[in-house]
Amino acid sequence: MMKRLVSCSLVLVLGFATSGIAAQKRPAAKKPAPQARPQKPAVDMTAVQTQVMLDRAGFSPGEIDGTMGTSSTRALEAFTKSGGRADALPADAVTTYCITEQDAAGPFVPNIPEDMVEKSKLPALGYASLIEALGERFHASPALLKAMNPAARFAAGETIQVPNVSATVAPVGPPRGRQSDAAASPENPAATTVSVRKGTSDLTVTDGAGKILMYAPVTTGSEHDPLPIGEWKVTGVQRDPKFHYNPSLFWDAEPAHSKATIPAGPNNPVGIVWVDITKPHYGLHGTPEPGAVGKTASHGCVRLTNWDAAKLASLVRPGTRVVFTE
């Protein structure tokens, strides 16, 4: 009897010992691996498609940057109000381009000084780099081009992806000759009116029948140099203008500065086009910084991207009405 009790005790002890060993050897339950966060696409292609669609339709979003910011949103609203379809995104919004030897040759001006007098000492104010020149050609920000082509060296012979914008600068403008006051009647639909709204930082060109010929974002002045509200007229258009710098007209000019003539070029302070109006010292013009249009202040004039300024120049002539409103 004693033996059986001892035997049972041994079994019980061994049973407890076996259970303990098993518990020690049993692997701990693995925690589920944290799920990797989905990578944000390098380029928002829907935004690029929308911006290319607007650019082609004549409702400029400004610089195509793959972001639906304020300028693009306002352009889309104007486009849909005029009968455009916001969902009609182009399947061919992106195309390829082979960089040529001529593209890469420049000439470029990599170190453009901020000082106006120092700018005047340069022979020309060309593009600072090849990627800046390509950005202007395809209405795109250099940052977007880099994002679309992460492995690119941007060198001659290289094929890159670019926004597939229209190759033409603008639709056919009004007939040659001066636009008289009589021409601005409903009976003459060729007559154009340029309207600039300060509150929404945009410009619209319409014909005599009210049809929109062009829409674009603009910069319209600043607290120191507000937009001159009122009605004016175009007096002329100058392409590749030199800029005549007069420090007395700029509140933030260096006191020691003297008058200077800034050479022509896309990085000229007024870009590649100057549309002169009857308001002295004011005009509508291009800019060396297309990404800043509608986002920063100007010295009172109306500033557009260089490509939008070129389009505007093709649609106006001496006598064209220019209306500035709040």
Residues 70 and 198 placed together within one structural domain of the fold: no
pLDDT tens, position by position, 94-112 = 999 999 999 999 999 999 9
Q: Tell me the whole-structure pTM to 2 decimals.
A: 0.81
Would you say residue 68 lies in a domain? yes
Would you say residue 112 lies in a domain? yes
Q: What is the pLDDT of residue 250?
A: 62
**Could you list the residue range(s) of the whole structural domain that residue 109 is in?**
45-163
Would you say residue 320 lies in a domain? yes
Residues 154 and 215 placed together within one structural domain of the fold: no
Would you say residue 60 lies in a domain? yes
Evaluate the omega torsion of the peptide bond into residue 189 and state whether it is cis, within 30 degrees of 0.
Answer: no
Would you say residue 159 lies in a domain? yes
pLDDT: is 167 or 276 the higher one?
A: 276
Would you say residue 35 lies in a domain? no
Average pLDDT, the chain: 84
- Using the predicted structure, report yes or no on whether residue 4 has a pLDDT greater than 80: no
**What CATH number did the domain enclosing 230 receive?**
2.40.440.10
Distances (CA, A) of 324 to 78, 186, 198, 206, 280: 18, 21, 7, 14, 15
Which of 57-71, 98-112, 144-158, 285-299 is predicted with the least confidence, judged by mean pLDDT?
A: 285-299
Number of domains observed in the structure of the chain? 2
Would you say residue 39 lies in a domain? no
Residues 82 and 116 placed together within one structural domain of the fold: yes
